[in-house]
Amino acid sequence: MNFKTISKILVAILGFLGIIFLVRILAVGDEAIKTGGEDGLVDPMAYVAYVILALVLVFVLFFVLKNLFTNTEGLKNTLIGVGSFAVVLIIAYVISGGDAMSYTLQEGGYATESTSQLVGAGLVSFYLLLAIAAGAMIFAGAKRIISK
């Protein structure tokens, strides 16, 4: 058996299990699920979803890594992109200073200075990446207009 055949069989089994659990959930109705009267009704469907999610993540990681290491030019471009992203994150972290004030969180805890700086770094990096993306789109559009 090759990989294609095994994957088709696995997809068929998981799809069949998903259909069975879905029919069970639909047959019981919303009220029984809300009240929790039917034990073990939703959990099997959730486990099938977890298995599918895990399989998808494993396959995506495998094929991405396989493609990166077989295509050296793509690996170079990926490393440049990851490095640029890391530089943007470091700049954002340095720019955003931690706030000395303590904020009460909704859960009752307090936000520390480092938490405040991380939140600020996330916001600053979002704005920096937004500006870079907008600038790249404007540059590409202007370049296309000029080249015509």
pLDDT digits (tens, 9 = 90+) for 49-95: 888 899 889 989 998 888 888 888 888 888 899 999 999 999 999 99
pLDDT digits (tens, 9 = 90+) for 110-129: 767 787 888 889 999 999 99
Q: Say if residue 145's pLDDT is above 90.
A: yes
Residue 88 near residue 128 (C-beta atoms within 8 A): yes
Q: Which residue has the higher pLDDT, 138 or 27?
A: 138
CA distance 31 to 91: 52
Which two three-digit tokens encode residue 128? Answer: 């920096």
Which two three-digit tokens encode residue 144? Answer: 């296309």
pTM: 0.56
